[in-house]
Amino acid sequence: MRHIVAIGGGEISQFETLEIDKRIVDLTGKDRPNALFIPTASGEPSEYCQTFEEVYRKRLGCETDVLFLTTKAVSQDEIEDKIFSADLVYVGGGNTKMMMNVWKEKGVDRLLSERYKKGLVLSGLSAGAICWFKYGFSDSERFSNSDQWNYIVVEGLNLVDGIFCPHLNEENRRPEFTKFMMDFSGPGFGIENKCAMEIEDDEFRIISAGGNAFLFKDQKVKPLNAGETYKFKSVAL
């Protein structure tokens, strides 16, 4: 089985997504899995890495490691070794567009796709959730121009069809995503903070730690119920 957990948002440092994080670890089927953190999108700050270690090693009992791609020199062999020795990958939030460019340059996109097919559990929050989908509804432009920016569509790894919008309950995302989806032909998944999609092959369910999830399709919006299983091909409004 192949598993992806795409988290809409929440403060991992305040344990807002701890219930979801526990599920990610459980999906590996191991007592002490190797958890690899990839913080490319945020610029790889040490505080974020420490937070991941606090949650995934100290709280959840994983062996933890970090894949640095922009702040430290790393060889192709090191990248491959880290990804291929991981039982789960957790991708942090931040600038999705920049992250995808770095991944393509270093071949991380290809390696993650290959390992996913062989059972690696993929997960992440915000940018780290967008990346698994065909497209993401992203605020990446704000990182280069915080005063004047627009939401953009960013291409992900296309492991899941459709477009993913994180942080649906923040700022003006819901009205902007709703307007965008009026002209988008595929399915759109709007996920609030403290909520996630757990994807297993061709079906998914919603994990809620306090947030909600919605399907946007055919110019309509449908709430997705926590715990209920949906088939991608048959989910309808």
Question: What's this model's pTM, rounded to 2 decimal places?
Answer: 0.96
Percent of all residues in the chain with a pLDDT value above 90, rounded to a whole number: 92
- In the chain, where are the structural domains located? 3-231
Residue 189's pLDDT is what? Answer: 98
- Interhelix angle 96-106/108-117, rounded to 10 degrees, is 80
- pLDDT exceeds cutoff 80 at 233: no
The CA distance from 198 to 205, in Å, is: 5
For the chain, give the longest Cα–Cα distance: 48
Write the DSSP string, 77-124. Answer: HHHHHHHHT-SEEEE--S-HHHHHHHHHHHTHHHHHHHHHHTT-EEEE
pLDDT tens, 185-219? 899 999 999 999 999 999 999 999 999 999 999 88
* Amino acid, res. 94: G
E strand or H helix at 171, and its extent? none
CB 152 within 8 A of CB 129: no
Tell me the CATH architecture of domain 3-231: 3-Layer(aba) Sandwich (3.40)
The tokens describing 39, both together, are 């913080």
Residue 235: pLDDT band (50, 70, 90) is low
pLDDT in tens, 140-176: 999 988 888 999 999 999 999 999 999 999 989 999 9
Segment 224-237 mean pLDDT: 79
